[in-house]
Structure 1
Amino acid sequence: MTIKKILLPLCVAALFIGLAYSGLNDFYLLIIFNIGVYHIAATGFNILVGQAGQKSLGHAGLFGVGAYTVALLTVEYQVDPWLSLVAAVVVSAAFGIVVAIPALKVQGPSLAMVTIAFGLLIEKIVAEWTDVFKGQQGFYGIGAPMIGGMPLDSRQWVVVVVVLGLILYAMTSSLLDSRFGRAFAAVRTSEIAARSVGISVLRFKTLAFVISAVTCGLAGALVAQQNQYINSDFVNFNLSVFLLVLVLFGGRTPAGAFMGSVVLALIDALLARWPEVQHFVYGGILLFALYFMPDGIAGVVDAFKRRRGLVSHEDASDVDADEWSRSAPAAGAVESSRPLLEVTDLYKAYGGVVPTNKVSFTLRRGTITSLIGPNGAGKTTMLNLLSGLVPADAGNIVFQGRDVTNLQADRVAALGLGRTFQNLKLFHGLSALENVMVGLYRVQESGFLSNLLNLSSRRREEASVRTRAYSILKFCELEQYAHEEANSLPYGLQRRLEIARAVAAMPDVLLLDEPAAGLNPSETDELTHLIVKLKERGLTILLIEHHMDLVMAISDHIVALDYGTKIAAGLPDQIQRNPKVIEAYLGAPA
């Protein structure tokens, strides 16, 4: 995170600390403290909900885990309050993994139900296991952190939450402005496309749950220590709803999490006298945000800045269009005489339907092989089998001398196999440049801590990746659209952008699933030219296409399928004369 980006948050933090020492009474200091606590909880919860797109209604349980951890450690075992705070973070992270395990197997409403069940379970445990958690009576005398042997006063508590909030803001901003942030966005918008560029959906969903658990647990621990009291009333479903409303209303950026915290904390304070009204107000805010501000307050602010031309982008006019191919990873060490990809007796059945019936073929390095056949011939199923999106029932796939049959899609992509999709699967909400940068995920090496702490190695890598992404866009003649949202581009440009994303990491094999579908003749000619240029750069391509003029013009080898069975293979002119192929397309003669 640059000094320019952190300057405004520093000023806001200084303002809140200044207000705390301006003579405000404890009521107003408590409001500022609550803003800080809500912001701390929202920084991680926003990554889960806003960035990774996983809706949760059980994070009050994780808030309770942090609160009761410090309560038990300081009251029952007299552990130092600072150490208890650290322990609360660790225990909350462990519970985040526990919640993630069942939640990873479901999506949508089912995911919300799983998290609700977790929240209710924690609520019941702390309310009814009175021997340990004291129920309604709760814990009194919870140890609070001390400075100079004296407990923190109200003003010092404000300083603590402001400093912690600023640190978390800087860390999450750095994380989201890196390959991790782009991976979260990819998981949110299209899990299938995310796996196709080497992103482990399982890993990033788990990571999002753990991060959200850490910040919610930290917020709960701070509340318990500041109050020096906690009971089961603090852990309830309403808190989970409040956190969800806060994130959706604020928006999915770190700044949005802060703005939502400020607005919701003030509304919460205003409605404290009428608790029965709070639920209606929060429901109204949630509906308003979903219908009129789907990107929250932060989205409204960003849209205003774009309209006013207040968003600046670096100039990339001097980037070399060949930079990406020179900096791409070297091809795998495979003998030139050996096929790059070998498919042997591949078989897949869905009940009585067999879209792939013992199909065999090979791909040679640096060639274009086309997979043709009428609708329903099993072409897309073949690509799904090769890329790991669908498991094979029998047969083998050997890629660069390694058996990759039934390997997970993200691992297949990491080995050097990229693909596009018959139905466009761009990452909506990201710019064209960011889509290509997601494609470069597998060649980036910086780790989680490096990106979280914004180390110099991470900054150098990001600069290199951004330059390479620009060069790929320039190679595909898309550089003028680098900062346009991907889903706002014309359809033909979106097709080219998906190819740009797929070749970003210079895969050894590129699978193209009907890239010319829906294109006009001019766009088809541009696409043909791009595919030929990719071949000239040494890329091996497996193409599915219904445009026979395109197939015959650029293919080195053609494999024809019909009802899941290979009926012919050979050079383009051989396939054109093959009677089985003619029969498959035109029908048997009368």
Structure 2
Amino acid sequence: MSNTHTTPIVVIKPELGLHRWLWPGVFLVIGLLAPLVLPGDKWVRVAALALVYVALASGLNILVGLTGLLDLGFIAFFIVGAYTAAIFTVSTFGPLLAENPAALAWVLPISVVAAIVFAGIAGSIIGYPTLRARGDYLAIMTLAFGEIVRIVSINWTEFTGGAVGIRNIPALNFVDGSMVPPTTTYYIILTVVVILIVALASLIASPVGRAWVAIREDELVAASIGIRTRRYKLLAYVVGASTAGVIGVFFAHMNQFVNPDSFTLEDNFIVLSLVILGGAGTLWGPITGAALWIFFQAVAKDIPLIQAHPEFRTGFLALIVIVLMILRPGGIISKRLELTRARGGTVPPVGELVRPDAEQPVAPGAAVLRLQEVKQVFGGLTALEAVTFDLKHGEVLGLMGPNGAGKSTLLNAISGVTNATSGTIEFFGERTERLESSAVSTRGIARTFQTVRLFWDMTVLENLLVGGHSRLAGFVPKFLSPFPFVRKSERFTVEEAEEVLAFVDAWECRDRRASSLDAYQQRKVEIARALMTRPRVLLLDEPAAGLNESETRDLSTLIARIREHGIDVILIEHDMDLLMGVSDRIVVLDHGVIIADGTPAEIRKNPAVLEAYLGSDAK
């Protein structure tokens, strides 16, 4: 390690102890004791309904809170699950269950699996066309989908029973056909909800959950470090829809009938309000919001004013949400999500980089990145015109030019953020000019941005784990498990992340939220996150912007050390001392055209550069 690399301060990392189990323990104890302390069967049924809405709010939270996708038709998936159970137990297996009620023990799992499949398909159907839609357009499309499903349930009479619905759905009795006490139904639904919450919590604290949050915070950056954003948005729809479908099955058995009146347009807004009320983007917020609201509704029924004007209940919820958004925008519970359960060490690591993967050794001076006649046109503006150069292995290539010369546009084209209008870009012989940025990243090109773009609500360590996403992503169902063996690869990646943080001298920041860092720490973390992709080429866009002289010197040393570790660098920088000092070769752009290509000494004396960039009188 270079002598100029400052040894990180040893900060003992807080271990996850009993406090990690505080909220789960509180909710589980409340859930287990509720039927024992509630006054009568009526309130046990209310508690069971509250659990149904807990599951609904948790499923919608995957879309709204984690991934940032506004869905106003979420109840459609709930409808799919409820009608699946009704059709299977009344129409398909009705005669069998009438003769042998105990057969429900194997019919119910079939209904649950079918509900997951059908709701998942419905989630895919609504999710796929909305992948490119955001904001108002997304909300309108999902709202329309929800209404379509509800209207179909009204009019497809031979299948859904129409407005009458489907009745005589068997209760959750696995022995005989006798009445089931509300307490038994409650505990069955509690078990299902606990399983759903554990599965969702496990998924959130995995590469999947981090990908969702990264998409919510900055979709462009998420794609630039290897996350296939459209795939993960579609997955969010499928997971949320499947959660609603599963709880819909048990809602149907709890009510013993379903009809379109059980699922109104208003329910979509209520569930969304519960997510916001409790705390969107948290695990326990939607649970809290749903439980409080359902019990409030039950209490409000006995209030004379509410009895006279039932519509006041929903109006009161809207008023609470408005007031809460003003006084506590994060919701009742604002505890941030835990996006990993793998823990690192408490002693600063050595601070070395894992060398970029390579199928065969590359000779020093060989071209690793080749641009030929690259042109970029935006409307009537030509940002790049016939740009041609090579990046050779073992060099730091500086990109120089005045503002508007096309430097950042060129990095965007190389990294896949935008596709070049014409020309070719070859990376180790493979053409990449038409690849998406996520595909470019997985092939070994990483980048930083002109303005630091971290995932601000994540910790530094979580930011770096997102950088290692392509090595952690895998078979999604395995991440539903809470068992430690699932996290084995993640623990290795945490160790690598801490090595990279030590390499850039930011190890002591690993447990801090990215938004709490100063400018230089943010820049080092952004570089570290890019290095976590194990790149073969690193694109740095004005990394010294806003840094003081001492920080700029440290940055120069860091760039040199990155090059020493086998990573080739393209550097855009307006600080001439840094650019000239660290670059082996410099390419100068002016109005999208290369006007010079040579060593720093040659560039200093080049008349075209002096005229276009340094000024005609510069020496």
Could you tell me the TM-score, scaled by structure 2's length? 0.88
Q: How does 1:38-187 map to 2 (within 5 A)?
A: 38-78=53-93, 80-150=107-177, 152-187=180-215
Where does residue 292 of structure 2 map in the other structure? 263
Q: Is the 8 A contact 1:332 1:400 kept in 2?
A: no
Where does residue 220 of structure 1 map in the other structure? 248
* Residue deviations 1:65-86 (CA, integer Å, cap 9, x gap): 1112222222222263442232
1:447/1:456 CA distance change after superposition, 3 Å: farther
Offset of 1:297 from its aligned partner? 2.3
> In 2, Cα distance between the equivalents of 1:63 and 1:3?
37
Out of 375, 379, 400, the position equivalent to 1:351 is 379
Q: Is the 8 A contact 1:71 1:230 kept in 2?
A: yes
Q: Is the 8 A contact 1:248 1:289 kept in 2?
A: no
Q: Which amino acid is the alignment partner of residue 86 of structure 2?
A: A
Where does residue 33 of structure 1 map in the other structure? 48
Q: Which amino acid is the alignment partner of residue 101 of structure 1?
A: Y
Q: Is the 8 A contact 2:75 2:146 kept in 1?
A: yes
Q: Is the 8 A contact 1:249 1:293 kept in 2?
A: no
Offset of 1:375 from its aligned partner? 0.8
2:611 aligns to what SS in structure 1? helix
1:298 aligns with 2:333: yes
1:565/1:60 CA distance change after superposition, 3 Å: same
> In 1, Cα distance between the equivalents of 2:465 and 2:69?
23
Out of 597, 611, 618, the position equivalent to 1:569 is 597
Give identity over the alignment, percent.
34
> In 1, Cα distance between the equivalents of 2:324 and 2:240?
22
> In 2, Cα distance between the equivalents of 1:217 and 1:302?
27
> In 2, Cα distance between the equivalents of 1:342 and 1:468?
30
1:329/1:36 CA distance change after superposition, 3 Å: farther
Q: Is the 8 A contact 1:253 1:298 kept in 2?
A: yes
Q: Is the 8 A contact 2:448 2:540 kept in 1?
A: yes
Out of 513, 517, 520, the position equivalent to 2:548 is 520
* Residue deviations 1:170-208 (CA, integer Å, cap 9, x gap): 212111112211111100100011011100110110011
Out of 522, 528, 535, the position equivalent to 2:563 is 535
1:242/1:460 CA distance change after superposition, 3 Å: same
Where does residue 452 of structure 2 map in the other structure? 424
Greater alpha carbon shift after TM alignment, 144-153 vs 569-578 = 144-153
Q: Which amino acid is the alignment partner of residue 565 of structure 2?
A: R
2:505 aligns to what SS in structure 1? coil
Where does residue 306 of structure 1 map in the other structure? none
1:121/1:346 CA distance change after superposition, 3 Å: same
2:285 aligns to what SS in structure 1? helix
Q: Which amino acid is the alignment partner of residue 315 of structure 2?
A: F
> In 2, Cα distance between the equivalents of 1:131 and 1:317?
65
Offset of 1:367 from its aligned partner? 1.4
1:23/1:196 CA distance change after superposition, 3 Å: closer
Q: Which amino acid is the alignment partner of residue 72 of structure 1?
A: I
Offset of 1:19 from its aligned partner? 3.2
Where does residue 19 of structure 1 map in the other structure? 34
1:317/1:71 CA distance change after superposition, 3 Å: closer
Q: How does 1:391-430 map to 2 (within 5 A)?
A: 391-430=419-458
1:298 aligns to what SS in structure 2? coil
Q: How does 1:157-556 map to 2 (within 5 A)?
A: 157-251=185-279, 252-272=281-301, 273=307, 274-299=309-334, 316-323=345-352, 325-326=353-354, 328-333=355-360, 335-336=362-363, 338-556=366-584
Q: Is the 8 A contact 1:432 1:483 kept in 2?
A: yes
1:42/1:329 CA distance change after superposition, 3 Å: farther
Question: Number of residues paired by the alignment?
Answer: 579
Q: Is the 8 A contact 2:170 2:256 kept in 1?
A: yes
Q: Which runs of 5+ in 1 are unaligned?
A: 304-311
> In 2, Cα distance between the equivalents of 1:451 and 1:132?
36
Offset of 1:314 from its aligned partner? 6.5
* Residue deviations 1:26-65 (CA, integer Å, cap 9, x gap): 2111111012111222222211111111111110111111
2:93 aligns to what SS in structure 1? coil
Offset of 1:23 from its aligned partner? 7.5
> In 2, Cα distance between the equivalents of 1:264 and 1:454?
29
Offset of 1:455 from its aligned partner? 4.5
> In 2, Cα distance between the equivalents of 1:89 and 1:519?
52
Q: Is the 8 A contact 2:344 2:495 kept in 1?
A: no
Q: Which amino acid is the alignment partner of residue 35 of structure 1?
A: A
Q: Is the 8 A contact 2:344 2:498 kept in 1?
A: no
Greater alpha carbon shift after TM alignment, 11-20 vs 383-392 = 11-20
Q: Is the 8 A contact 2:541 2:572 kept in 1?
A: yes
Greater alpha carbon shift after TM alignment, 79-88 vs 224-233 = 79-88
Q: Which amino acid is the alignment partner of residue 386 of structure 2?
A: K
2:128 aligns to what SS in structure 1? helix
* Residue deviations 1:146-167 (CA, integer Å, cap 9, x gap): 3123464311211111111111
> In 2, Cα distance between the equivalents of 1:3 and 1:145?
38
* Residue deviations 1:286-316 (CA, integer Å, cap 9, x gap): 22343333322221x569xxxxxxxx99774
Q: Which runs of 5+ in 2 are unaligned?
A: 1-15, 95-106, 302-306
Q: Is the 8 A contact 1:334 1:401 kept in 2?
A: no
Offset of 1:100 from its aligned partner? 0.2
Q: Is the 8 A contact 2:88 2:111 kept in 1?
A: yes
> In 2, Cα distance between the equivalents of 1:527 and 1:480?
18
Offset of 1:542 from its aligned partner? 0.6
Q: Which amino acid is the alignment partner of residue 529 of structure 1?
A: T
- CA-based RMSD of the aligned residues comes to 2.4
> In 2, Cα distance between the equivalents of 1:93 and 1:526?
51
Instruction: Name segments (4+ residues, structure 1) moved above 4 Å.
Output: 2-8, 21-24, 312-315, 586-590
Q: Which amino acid is the alignment partner of residue 551 of structure 2?
A: E
1:344 aligns to what SS in structure 2? strand
> In 2, Cα distance between the equivalents of 1:121 and 1:385?
41
Q: Which amino acid is the alignment partner of residue 43 of structure 1?
A: S
